């Protein structure tokens, strides 16, 4: 039987994006440097300190390398007045929002220890969220041609709501790989203030039949963030067939 990978996880609340970005890239670089130092060895024959960062950011917009700055609908002055940071970064995808009430996951993994397939990796991240949503009685879906997790059918969603009948994105996903080491990850809307998405074209998607949602909006109640973190950790370990351990 293949030995399970041990992944350390860290929880970072009220996090400033720049600080988390620096922390994330430091962990990412350490994995790559270790791979290069052991290039003559088979993957799995030397230790790799992989990590899952679970983060609640202070308000920030991030723009992926394939995105358009035109999808940010605020000026620099307006960003400052609203206390929102903005960073163009090197993940895939377009523009998205991170902020309080949203659980962002940054899995920094050596995919040579799992599977060297970026599409498989994204589908696995989606699966973690889909399994978590099932615990709340919601059916998360994939849409062909789009990454992330969507709510297509929720019988309890108010029929009078402007987004009723639309495909509602509850989790955005954007990743970057270097030497098969992953960077960035997912943004899962739990108790997120959705009005922030009105200041951008979310993920560059302008289809009138698509919108953004949150677990709170779908359930009609606030959700305990610690409870969601626990479920995410469980399903991540299950989906990636690994062992998650809290960092000391």
**Residues forming the active site:** 203
- Count Cβ atoms within 10 A of the Cβ of residue 232 and give its class: 0-12 exposed, 13-18 middle, 19 or more buried: buried
Contact 91, 147 (CB under 8 A): no
- Count Cβ atoms within 10 A of the Cβ of residue 94 and give its class: 0-12 exposed, 13-18 middle, 19 or more buried: buried
Element (H, E) at 184: strand 181-189
Q: How far apart are CA 118 and CA 131, in angstroms?
A: 20
Strands 140-143, 95-98: pairing kind: unpaired
Who contacts 143 (Cβ-Cβ below 8 Å, separation ≥6)?
Answer: 150, 152, 167
Report residue 76 as tokens.
């620099």
Q: How far apart are CA 185 and CA 125, in angstroms?
A: 8
CA 36 to chain centre: 27
CA proximity to 181, closest of 54, 69, 48, 60:
48
């Amino acid at each position: 039987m293949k030995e399970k990978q041990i992944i350390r996880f860290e929880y970072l609340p009220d996090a400033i994006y720049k600080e988390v970005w620096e922390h994330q890239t430091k962990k990412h670089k350490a994995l790559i440097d270790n791979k290069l130092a052991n290039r003559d060895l088979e993957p799995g024959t030397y230790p790799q300190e992989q990590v899952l960062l679970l983060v609640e950011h202070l308000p920030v917009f991030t723009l992926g390398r394939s995105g358009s700055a035109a999808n940010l609908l605020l000026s620099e002055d307006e960003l400052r007045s609203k206390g929102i940071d903005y960073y163009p970064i090197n993940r895939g995808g377009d523009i998205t929002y991170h902020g309080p009430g949203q659980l962002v996951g940054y899995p920094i993994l050596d995919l040579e220890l799992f599977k060297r397939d970026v599409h498989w990796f994204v589908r696995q991240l989606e699966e973690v969220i889909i399994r978590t949503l099932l615990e709340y009685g919601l059916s998360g879906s994939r849409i062909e041609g789009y990454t992330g997790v969507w709510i297509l059918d929720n019988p309890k969603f108010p029929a009078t709501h402007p987004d009723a009948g639309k495909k509602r994105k509850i989790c955005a996903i954007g990743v970057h790989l270097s030497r098969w080491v992953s960077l960035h990850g997912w943004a899962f809307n739990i108790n997120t203030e959705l009005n922030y998405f009105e200041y951008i074209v979310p993920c560059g998607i302008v289809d009138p039949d698509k919108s953004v949602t949150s677990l709170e909006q779908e359930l009609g109640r606030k959700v305990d963030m610690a409870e969601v973190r626990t479920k995410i950790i469980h399903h991540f370990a299950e989906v990636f067939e690994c062992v998650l351990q809290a960092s000391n």
